[in-house]
Amino acid sequence: MSTFQAPKGTYDLTPPRSATFLAVREAISAPLRDSGYGYIETPGFENVELFARGVGESTDIVTKEMYTLTTKGGDQLALRPEGTASVLRAALEANLHKAGNLPVKLWYSGSYYRYERPQAGRYRHFSQVGAEAIGTEDPALDAELIILADQAYRSLGLRRFRILLNSLGDKECRPVYREALQTFLRDLDLDEETRRRIEINPLRVLDDKRADVQKQLTDAPKLRDYLCDACKAYHEEVRALLTAAGVAFEDDEKLVRGLDYYTRTTFEFVHDGLGSQSAVGGGGRYDGLSEMIGGPELPSVGWALGVDRTVLALEAESVELDLPATTSVYAVPLGEEARRVLFGVVTELRRAGIAADFAFGGRGLKGAMKSANRSGARYTLVAGERDLAEGVVQLKDMESGEQSAVPPAEAAAELAKRLG
């Protein structure tokens, strides 16, 4: 393997494509920042126990996909495979839930790691933007998060995504359904690993993508038939709030998601242009997670949206984001005196908030102008000995080709005026 090759199943983000990823992160987080969500950042690794207890010891994530390591001091750590457990742990450690303002609303962005079989849209290192609302049980909060994700995707220009919605019940009614489902599943023709899953987390069997398994699940008991009155009422309120907000969704009674901690509302954003890896994000309510990891009772809800998956969805719809030019002005000095003068102008432009770059390395006019073209700059500033002798620099509009002479001291003000 080459030294200059990213590990299998990972990728590097380099310009110009990285600008799209930044724009997607910005678009997803913008509605959250406008809705009372504060930014949180957690370590890239946690104690293994956090994910074993929180995500679930029977999940593929914990049993097969988690990157684990033992420190020199003997601690068992894991690279974070998802964000919710880490954010809840950090909120509990900082006692944010005791500050008296519930729900605690947080958003985050970062890299996550799972040892999966690499394929289009599925990587071992992936990027997400997530949001969590901690400490309040309210259907309006579930609806708010779904609406904000829908708003983010629409602001990017995505149209071909769908929202799948389900309720998983709560600690009152789900055990009754679990028992009925287990009874049904035990009579099916399933492999040993799936049989083990029946005893630990039977709902995950419903999520099995294999055709021979799905065929046998046709007559499986339906969770909706087992929901208690409180869960039914809660779910209907979420549905009503989404409908009133004009957010379209599809009821999907087989939607269970891949994490053990979900209760009641669960949802997924899917895009049909991505093939088998159609999920671009999802989430739900996790009222028991705080207690699972050793904290107090804190009903909560959240989601995570995949940045890489969202970029693939944009490409599938041929959506071109309107990305700002990284450089508005490019300075080309010809000679030492011009380098000193134009470097001063570039510094002044940057202080005025104008994106400006400079032809470093003392290249000639031809090579420097090629760099100016590649930078995407709208204007170039060119100066040689004769220009400086006349007390001017040449300002060229790269779109129209028009050129005018301006005094160096007035160049920044003139460019600020032209660039608005």
Tell me which residue has tokens 């998956």: 309
Tens of pLDDT, residue by residue over 81-95, are 999 999 999 999 999
CB 50 within 8 A of CB 293: yes
Domains of the chain: 17-173+227-316 (3.30.930.10), 329-418 (3.40.50.800)
Residue 403 pairs in a beta bridge with 396
H-helix or E-strand spanning residue 193 = helix 192-200
In angstroms, what CA-CA distances link 375 with 56, 59, 241? Answer: 49, 47, 47
What mean pLDDT comes out for the span 193-199? 86
Handedness of CA 222, 227, 232, 235 (dihedral sign): negative
pLDDT of res. 2 = 64
Strands 300-306 and 279-285: antiparallel
Given pLDDT bands bounded at 50, 70 and 90, which one contains residue 230?
very high
d(CA 3, CA 5): 6
Total-model pTM: 0.89
Phi, psi of 266 (to 5 degrees): -140, 145
pLDDT tens column, 23-50: 999 999 999 999 999 999 999 999 998 8
What mean pLDDT is predicted for residues 108-130? 88
pLDDT tens-digit readout, 317-355: 999 999 988 899 999 999 999 999 999 999 999 999 999
Residues 6+ apart with CB under 8 A from 85: 46, 50, 51, 54, 55, 261, 289, 293
Number of Cα atoms under 13 Å in the Cβ half of residue 186: 8
The secondary element (H helix, E strand) that includes residue 394 is strand 393-397
Spell out the residues 6+ positions from residue 166 whose beta carbon is closer than 8 angstroms to its own. 223, 251, 252, 253, 254, 255, 256, 265, 266, 267
Collapse the DSSP code of 255 into the 3-class scheme (helix H, G, I; strand E, B; otherwise coil) and give the result: coil
Q: From CA 330, how far away is CA 372, in angstroms rounded?
A: 6
DSSP codes, 79-129: E-S-SHHHHHHHHHHTTGGGSS-SSEEEEEEEEEE-----BTTB-SEEEEE
Contact 248, 267 (CB under 8 A): no
Position with higher pLDDT, 257 vs 194: 194
Whether 259 contacts 268, CB under 8 Å: no
Q: Looking at 317-375, list the stretches that DSSP marks H as alpha helix, in order from N- to C-terminal side.
A: 336-351, 365-375
Percent of the chain with pLDDT over 70: 96
Say how many residues make up the chain: 420
